[in-house]
């Protein structure tokens, strides 16, 4: 009977409940901290992922930190393989995004080239500009005319700036 009285005691039930909450609460706090940290990391990654080059560089720096923290790499072969596979995948994504950017840039350059009147430049400069925009093979003569065109454009931009200044002076 003394044993039943000891088991059914209200004070012992309260003490049992308190001890369980003391044990569970640190674990819950640790889980909450881990969840908060993972949310912060994901938010940082979202911010970094706006620019694919910066995202790739940050991923490479994480890989470097991982390698520097390890002293015995043979035990981490599986992790290393997954890191390298992920790096390769991200590198291919970066290259594809750059190619897409270049194709969009090429298409926009073609549209801009169509806006230039054919009689604006002489024949050699027009052909050189078309070869440059369409990424055709260029010879030494084309490179010469391309340099000549670049200097001509720089000179005209300087003149345009001077004309803008004179326009401001005259309109005051």
Task: Read off the pLDDT of residues 21-44 as tens digits, 9 standing for 90 and up.
Answer: 555 567 777 777 877 777 777 666
Domain boundary assignment for the chain: 18-48, 51-115, 117-172
Q: Give the SS3 label for residue 75.
A: helix
* pLDDT at residue 144, as a whole number: 92
The token duo for 138 is 């260029």
Judge whether 83 and 66 are in contact, CB under 8 Å.
Answer: yes
* pLDDT at residue 31, as a whole number: 77
Helix (H) or strand (E) holding 24: helix 10-48
* pLDDT at residue 151, as a whole number: 92
Q: Give the SS3 label for residue 38.
A: helix
Question: Around 42, how many Cα atoms within 13 Å sit in the side-chain half-sphere?
Answer: 6
Closest CA to 142 of 154, 153, 127: 127
The Cα–Cα gap between 90 and 58 comes to: 11
The token duo for 50 is 């706006």
Quickly list H helices, 49-139: 52-69, 77-115, 123-133
pTM score over 0.75: no
């Amino acid at each position: 009977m003394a044993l039943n009285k000891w088991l059914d005691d209200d004070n012992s039930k309260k003490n049992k409940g308190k001890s369980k909450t003391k044990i569970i609460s640190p674990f819950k706090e640790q889980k909450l901290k881990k969840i908060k940290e993972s949310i912060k990391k994901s938010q940082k990654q979202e911010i970094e992922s706006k620019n694919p080059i910066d995202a790739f560089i940050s991923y490479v720096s994480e890989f470097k930190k991982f390698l520097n923290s390890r002293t015995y790499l043979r035990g981490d072969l599986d992790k290393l393989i997954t890191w390298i596979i992920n790096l390769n995948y991200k590198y291919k994504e970066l290259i594809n995004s750059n190619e897409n950017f270049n194709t969009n840039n090429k298409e926009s350059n073609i549209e801009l080239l169509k806006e230039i009147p054919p009689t604006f430049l002489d024949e050699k400069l027009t052909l050189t500009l078309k070869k440059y925009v369409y990424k055709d093979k260029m010879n030494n003569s084309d490179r010469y005319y391309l340099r000549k065109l670049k200097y001509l454009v720089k000179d005209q931009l300087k003149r345009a700036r001077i004309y803008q200044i004179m326009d401001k002076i005259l309109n005051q």
